Chains A and B, each alone.
Chain A
């Protein structure tokens, strides 16, 4: 019966299993896919669109942050099982990294990191750092897309110091910001000189693809 299911039915089932945190159903749905499909194709066809739906659901107020977090975590675990952390097929270009600026609240960064890893990306996780540390890591690793997560308003305002220092250092790194202050003031990301803002973790996937294309051009 399962082979007659439409793609959309499969996506609905997978989304429901993630929101219900039904580990057995998640495993079954991922294992039950066509064997001829590569891990990367499975990620692109099933995991990325469902995580995007869940992220959009959070933006629309229909899904809670804990569900976004757990969905990302469960998908990350599932993907690590089918696609090893250092697998060459993971997307590593442009070189990208994520960090929390100053704050000690790491949930937002953890969610975006999980969603990106579950979507087949390979990225650096710098954890919590201050501006000078972040600039030095970016220079050291040749990072082209830097995702910065913040919780507190003063940290969000400090992103302008980061973007200035990157420019002064001649880095052409794109800075994507996310976190509560940016959600409550939708002009703040431009004010601090960021290149984009992600309302949810799912936005990060699209933004990285956008900057990857620019990087290739």
Chain B
């Protein structure tokens, strides 16, 4: 019997219900590559949601992946708070000098209003355009930076760690403001048509802080915030490890987890099965040097480790494919998923 091909929405929904869809769902977060498609600079591309929507649709047609990215650049959130954004031609816009110059500045911060902040309105417009053009067949992923991780850009990483350890009262004050912003921002994206929200929380990773500190900070914050977001949330540690905190992450209310190349993908899948969908873990930094053959080998390896039984989405381990990764490699990844990702994954039993 021939199995009817599923839409991307059906494929993701089945996989996230821990069943096997027609093939392994995959996502290539080619956030900047649309600028190349349109022949415009990265800065010009992100200046207009129409450009980004057009770029995302072209990339989706080219790679046939299973979600559209309703995201522009992480620094948009710090821009919303009045921070500086630095553009460059060969990478994502980055946050500039932190706008919180000293901890006492936290007393004077005000949560930005979503409706009055043009850079956030651009993102909402993008989500709405993508939703309209994909006619509900391909889910649009929204994204927020966790209230616990946003201060890296608000204060600078070293000063933020000093704040956590030395000024817990001001830390709590900042987190409280960030939580309100994060919830409002996530819900605005859901209202604009995002199917789910990616919750980027790299500081919570054991790569960055010890588990004991996570349990009294990032874990509690994620649990409070995710409960207030009116849709599905998947957690990303942006290349950071997650294996040691899986039991905690499962309790935050998230439905998915991104896996680092420094984690054991098979082990994470085993521990999360039936509880969290596992997403990962192609090495996007190394990807710029891959040949099509390497890409195929890496895709096979990941599918062999985590594909069986559903509950797995193949993607990169960071949440953004670098500008330097060429289409040849991305097309090879797409072709390898098409060839090796068809369920049932009978070949995996003989995979060495």
Residue numbers of A with Cβ under 8 A of B are 21, 61, 63-67, 69-70, 103-107, 110, 152-154, 157, 180-181, 184-185, 187-188
Q: Is the CB of B285 within 8 A of A153?
A: yes
- Pairwise interchain contact B157-A105, C-beta atoms closer than 8 A: yes
Please report the C-alpha to C-alpha distance between residue A103 and residue B157 in the assembled complex, in whole angstroms: 12
The yes or no answer to B208 lying at the interface (CB within 8 A) is yes
A187 to B283, CA, bound (A): 13
B156 near A: Cβ within 8 Å?
Answer: yes
| B156–A154 CB distance below 8 A | no
CB within 8 Å of A: which B198-241 residues: 206-210, 213, 239, 241
Give Cα A105 to B156, complex, Å. Answer: 7
> Which B residues are CB-close (under 8 A) to A66?
161, 164-165, 208-210, 213
Residues of B at under 8 Å CB distance from A?
86, 88, 90-92, 94-98, 152, 156-158, 161, 164-165, 206-210, 213, 239, 241, 261-262, 283, 285-286, 288-289, 322-324
Nearest CB to that of A114 among chain B residues? B158
B5 to chain A, nearest CB (A): 34
The number of inter-chain residue pairs (CB within 8 angstroms) is 76
Among all A-B residue pairs, the 4 with the closest Cβ atoms: A107-B157, A184-B285, A154-B91, A185-B286
Name the CB-closest residue of A to B214.
A64
Query: Given the complex, which residues of A lie within 8 Å of B86, measured CB to CB?
Result: 104
8 Å CB contact of A64 from B88, B208, B286, B323: B208
A106 to B161: give the CA distance in the assembly, Å. 12
Contact partner, A184, options B90, B161, B261, Cβ 8 Å: B261
* Complex contact A153–B324 (CB within 8 A): yes
22 pairs, CB–CB < 8 Å, chain A vs chain B:
A64-B207, A64-B210, A66-B164, A66-B209, A67-B210, A103-B94, A104-B156, A106-B156, A106-B157, A106-B158, A110-B158, A153-B91, A153-B288, A154-B88, A154-B90, A154-B322, A181-B285, A184-B239, A184-B285, A185-B283, A185-B285, A185-B286
A153 and B322 contacting across the interface, CB-CB below 8 Å: yes
20 more A-B residue pairs beyond the given contacts A65-B207, A70-B165, A154-B322, with a C-beta to C-beta distance below 8 A: A21-B165, A61-B206, A61-B241, A64-B208, A64-B210, A66-B165, A66-B213, A104-B96, A104-B98, A105-B156, A106-B156, A107-B161, A153-B288, A157-B324, A180-B285, A181-B285, A184-B239, A184-B285, A185-B283, A185-B286
Q: How far is the CB of A162 from chain B (nearest CB, A)?
A: 16
Complex contacts, A154 vs chain B, CB 8 Å: 88, 90-91, 322-324
A69 CA to B92 CA in the complex, in Å?
A: 27
In the complex, which of the residues A70, A153, A180 contacts B161, with contact meaning CB atoms closer than 8 Å? A70
Asked if A104 meets B95 with Cβ closer than 8 Å, knowing A66-B210, A69-B158, A154-B90, the reply is yes
When the two chains form their complex, are residues B158 and A107 in contact, meaning their CB atoms are under 8 A apart? yes
